């Protein structure tokens, strides 16, 4: 099965205690595609870039199974740019600069070949843009997942609530779940959020793993303990890409398969942070992914 994904295709400057990189290829759509193409092909991208974007990088994305028909190119525009510096604890980070550039006027138009895709990943963009994509689907997708962030809760809560009614899976972190629901307890937060629309809620807890809520069923996924995190940028997008790529590839949205998909997403995220940007994803192979899945299985296995 194919997967449709929206998000940014960006350049980042990233500073961490382990080093720095400048004008590296990044963005939510990029990370989602780099992870999802390991499972599902094609991954139909919906994004916008300037004429300044690295052509060789885009060609490589295509070779991996990404479909770039839905990526609008503004020849004399500049691509979205973000610069950030991580704190020594690698948890917090400061944004040093954000240049929306071509993203400021992004009004996606889906190619005809995208409009009947069954699996849709709405990466972190404005709720208005996310809604535009849903509105252009001709047949109802089997599963629409959405990522968002506190920024949109601060400035576009009503628009976000409108789009939440149209999706199946919400993927957010614990802090965002608390902000969205106004509840400290994640159990209470989950109940409130599910009432807002999404049938399935996935709460990412960083180094503490993730929680899956589906009806009255809950799954607690662990996180691997990583010796070194070089660059956390894109971990959430890579998680979403692995998750939705696996779901699209297996075409199975049962609770049991959602659990497996979360482990796949977690495994992909555990790779991406090992190096800057998407570097680690570029030389990743199936054997490495399978071995890491086994590490997750071993980490939580207990017999009674």
Judged by the rule CB under 8 A, the positions of this chain that interact with its own copies are: 88-90, 184-188, 205, 207-209, 211, 218-223, 225-228, 256, 259-260, 263, 293, 297, 299-300, 302-304
Least Å distance, CB 271 to its own copies, is 16
CB nearer its own copies, residue 156 or residue 191: 191
Three-class DSSP category at 111: coil
Q: Which two tokens stand for residue 211?
A: 């929680």
Nearer to its own copies, 59 or 256 (CB): 256
Give dist(CA 183, CA 180) in Å, integer: 8
Cβ 302 to its own copies, closest distance in Å? 4
CB nearer its own copies, residue 96 or residue 299? 299
Task: Tell me the closest approach of the beta carbon of residue 209 to its own copies, in angstroms.
Answer: 7
Q: Tell me the C-alpha to C-alpha distance, in Å, between residue 8 and each of 23, 104, 161, 197, 209.
A: 14, 11, 21, 25, 25
Contact predicate 133/45, CB 8 Å: no
Q: Which of 138/256 has CB closer to its own copies?
A: 256
DSSP 8-state secondary structure symbol assigned to residue 113: G
204: part of which helix (H) or strand (E)?
A: strand 200-204
Dig out the tokens for 199 from the structure.
């049938």
Q: Name which of 63 and 286 has its Cβ closer to its own copies.
A: 286
Query: Angle at Cα 90 formed by Cα 283 and Cα 204, nearest 5°?
Result: 75
**Residue 123 vs 265, nearer CB to its own copies:** 265
DSSP-derived pairing of the beta strands 19-26 and 169-173 = unpaired
Q: What is the DSSP letter of 112?
A: G
CA distance 70 to 55: 16
């Amino acid at each position: 099965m194919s997967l449709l994904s929206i998000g940014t295709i960006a350049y980042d400057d990233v500073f961490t205690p382990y080093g720095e990189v400048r004008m590296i290829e990044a963005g939510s759509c990029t990370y989602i595609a780099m992870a999802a193409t390991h499972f599902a092909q094609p991954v139909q991208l919906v994004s916008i870039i300037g004429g300044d974007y690295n052509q060789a990088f885009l060609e490589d994305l295509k070779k991996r199974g990404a479909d770039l028909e839905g990526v609008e190119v503004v020849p004399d525009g500049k691509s979205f740019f973000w610069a950030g510096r991580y704190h020594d604890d690698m948890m917090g980070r400061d944004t040093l600069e954000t240049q929306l550039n071509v993203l400021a006027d992004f009004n996606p138009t889906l190619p005809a070949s995208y409009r009947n895709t069954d699996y849709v990943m709405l990466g972190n963009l404005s709720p208005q843009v996310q809604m535009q994509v849903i509105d252009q689907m001709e047949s109802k997708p089997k599963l629409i997942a959405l990522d968002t962030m506190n920024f949109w809760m601060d400035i576009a809560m009503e628009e976000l609530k409108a789009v939440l009614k149209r999706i199946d899976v919400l993927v957010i972190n614990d802090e965002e779940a608390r902000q969205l629901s106004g509840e400290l307890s994640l159990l209470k937060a989950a109940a409130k959020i599910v009432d807002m629309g999404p049938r399935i809620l996935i709460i990412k807890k960083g180094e503490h793993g993730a929680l899956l809520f589906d009806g009255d069923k809950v799954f607690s996924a662990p996180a691997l303990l990583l010796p070194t995190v070089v660059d956390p940028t894109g971990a959430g997008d890579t998680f979403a890409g692995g998750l939705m790529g696996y779901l699209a590839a297996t075409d199975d949205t049962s609770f049991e398969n959602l659990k497996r998909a979360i482990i796949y997403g977690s495994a992909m995220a555990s790779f991406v942070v090992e190096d800057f940007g998407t570097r680690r994803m570029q030389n990743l192979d199936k054997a490495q992914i399978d071995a890491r899945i086994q590490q997750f299985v071993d980490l939580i296995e207990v017999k009674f």
